[in-house]
A and B are shown apart, each in its own frame.
Chain A
């Protein structure tokens, strides 16, 4: 009986600790909700439908329906949403072909002794801190784009609206490229793992029918790994949507207009949050901070949804790949 007692204590101890992660996340959401509450009530639906974000720090405190805010302040987050989506979209557009290309090279093209070190290097990309990416973007990529790529694009592709217009050094394009580099390891390594799970029997069956390597990849391997690949892309998207430091270092500060071209300075939700806490604390009514907290809730909702979807897809990809093994 004494033994059982010890087991119970041990189990309870680990259980309480395991519960701590639940506690952390619930309290984090509670803190965000509690602090966002004045903004949710005061700004209502206009928070999501307006593109006018103006904390109006020179205003005076007024009280409407028991909630304090500054006169003339307005909080609409459309610009942040648009910038977040735009920079992530650029990242995905660039990262998907590059990441899949790397994955195909690693599983289908390269011999093992070449694939192993390249795999290793692609994983190294994931180990570089995001602030270092931001630094590199600031001193290498940004100036290069500004001096070489953007003038060329603006001159030759200006008939396409997003390529026209005045260029600027920190802009959507540079942030999108940095984000792409950051999420390529995610797309490449998960896709590679999924593609490598294609049963040898299916590959050989197709090869024996006289398919070229690319045909085996396209007709057998890619369909087989499809769910997992989509999952990896969605996971990369989640990372891009929430990435903070690299984007904050490349975002031109303070410009809040809807982006019209690739070169526009911008603010994503995360970059705005990291750059403006100090400013928000100067609002004596607290509404500015509250609005930022509501912005944080929006970011939380977006990233959690995307991440959960990605994990479900990847899980399903793994599950179906173990099911699909031909049983006799």
Chain B
């Protein structure tokens, strides 16, 4: 019902919505990503997998320039969203984050009320004229994050009182309230119990109706359940990419096979 009232994002449908070309990333002299070439499609869930330390978190944080302030961090290469070079001069890293929202590994709600958490972004950017509009943004964001029914009667309560899974969905709602096109998720369920995890997974599948989702995960089963396309990253390099079912059933690279069978747990 809900998605009917919401048109898909405007603009022409691009062949590849996010395009990464010849990307190298460094912390000081340490190279953490090597020659990455990747395409992520619009309105799909793209999963980045790999053992811990493979550079997947760095890769996803490059997509909204979260690493800009990390001392010594720099990249070479090209990252475009809808053909816009996001590391180009005309792109402001702060404004970019309005377009590209992010959800983190452990839930990080602010120590405010539930309502204020979601209203925080819209208030900063002044995305509304009247209080009524703000209320509606908050409500819709919570609905989209599948949290509305659980919190609608206690919006003024502290967000810290919510369970871990609820907090994570609140963080998703908070990111949605700024009305991004792309949602980056860095292992969003890794700190949650199985019940909360499956709720988040259902939610992610639903979110792709309206957003382009890039998710980092080390959980192979999770990637198989939710992803449309998969990237396997190992020691900073792309080993294999593929469409979801084929990738898991028929990996073409022996390394991928090893990883999928659980023999590559870390770098």
Classify A-B as touching or not with yes or no (CB < 8 A). yes
B175 interface neighbour in A201, A209, A328, Cβ under 8 Å? A209
Restricting to B101-146, which residues have a CB under 8 Å from any CB of A? 101-102, 104, 106-111, 120-121, 124-125
- B: number of interface residues (CB 8 Å): 29
Which residues of chain B have C-beta atoms less than 8 A from A328's C-beta?
A: 106-107, 164, 167, 191-192
Residue B81 at the A interface, CB < 8 A? no
Which residues of chain A have C-beta atoms less than 8 A from B192's C-beta?
A: 328
Please determine whether A206 and B175 come into contact, CB atoms closer than 8 angstroms. Answer: no
* Bitwise interface map of A from 190 to 219 toward B, beta carbon under 8 Å scored 1, else 0: 000000000101101111111110010001
B108 interface neighbour in A211, A219, A326, Cβ under 8 Å? A326
Using known A-B contacts A328-B191, A328-B192, determine if residue A210 contacts B98 with beta carbons closer than 8 Å: yes
Residue A21 at the B interface, CB < 8 A? no
Which residues of chain A have C-beta atoms less than 8 A from B101's C-beta?
A: 208-209
A211 interface neighbour in B94, B109, B191, Cβ under 8 Å? B94
What separation, in Å, do the CA atoms of A199 and B107 have in the docked complex? 12
Please determine whether B178 and A202 come into contact, CB atoms closer than 8 angstroms. Answer: no
- Residue from B64, B120, B125 having most chain A Cβ neighbours under 10 A: B120
Which residues of chain B have C-beta atoms less than 8 A from A6's C-beta?
A: none
Using known A-B contacts A112-B71, A211-B124, determine if residue A206 contacts B64 with beta carbons closer than 8 Å: no
The distance from the CB of B177 to the nearest CB of chain A, in whole angstroms, is 8
B110 interface neighbour in A208, A210, A215, A220, Cβ under 8 Å? A220
Residue A127 at the B interface, CB < 8 A? no
Residue A66 at the B interface, CB < 8 A? no
Chain B's closest residue to A211 (CB) is B124
Which residues of chain A have C-beta atoms less than 8 A from B66's C-beta?
A: 204, 207-208
Residue A148 at the B interface, CB < 8 A? no
Which residues of chain A have C-beta atoms less than 8 A from B95's C-beta?
A: 210
Residue A324 at the B interface, CB < 8 A? yes
Which residues of chain B have C-beta atoms less than 8 A from A210's C-beta?
A: 94-95, 97-98, 121, 124-125, 178
Chain B's closest residue to A220 (CB) is B110
The distance from the CB of B179 to the nearest CB of chain A, in whole angstroms, is 11
Chain B's closest residue to A112 (CB) is B71
Residue B171 at the A interface, CB < 8 A? yes
Residue B19 at the A interface, CB < 8 A? no
Which residues of chain A have C-beta atoms less than 8 A from B191's C-beta?
A: 328
What separation, in Å, do the CA atoms of A209 and B120 have in the docked complex? 9
Chain A's closest residue to B101 (CB) is A208
Please determine whether A201 and B71 come into contact, CB atoms closer than 8 angstroms. Answer: no
Residue A117 at the B interface, CB < 8 A? no
What separation, in Å, do the CA atoms of A204 and B57 have in the docked complex? 14
Residue B43 at the A interface, CB < 8 A? no
Which residues of chain A have C-beta atoms less than 8 A from B64's C-beta?
A: 208
A209 interface neighbour in B107, B124, B164, Cβ under 8 Å? B124
Please determine whether B111 and A324 come into contact, CB atoms closer than 8 angstroms. Answer: yes
Which residues of chain A have C-beta atoms less than 8 A from B106's C-beta?
A: 201, 326, 328
Residue B56 at the A interface, CB < 8 A? no
Which residues of chain B have C-beta atoms less than 8 A from A205's C-beta?
A: 104, 108-110, 171, 174
Please determine whether A326 and B124 come into contact, CB atoms closer than 8 angstroms. Answer: no
List 4 extra interface pairs beyond A205-B174, A326-B107, CB under 8 A.
Answer: A111-B71, A211-B94, A324-B111, A328-B191
- Chain A positions within 8 Å of B, measured between CB atoms, are 111-112, 199, 201-202, 204-212, 215, 219-220, 224, 324, 326, 328
Report 29 cross-chain contacts, Cβ distance below 8 Å, ordered by A residue: A112-B71, A201-B104, A201-B106, A201-B108, A204-B66, A205-B104, A205-B110, A207-B97, A208-B97, A208-B175, A209-B124, A209-B174, A209-B175, A209-B178, A210-B95, A210-B98, A210-B121, A211-B94, A212-B94, A219-B124, A220-B110, A326-B106, A326-B107, A326-B108, A326-B160, A326-B167, A328-B106, A328-B167, A328-B192
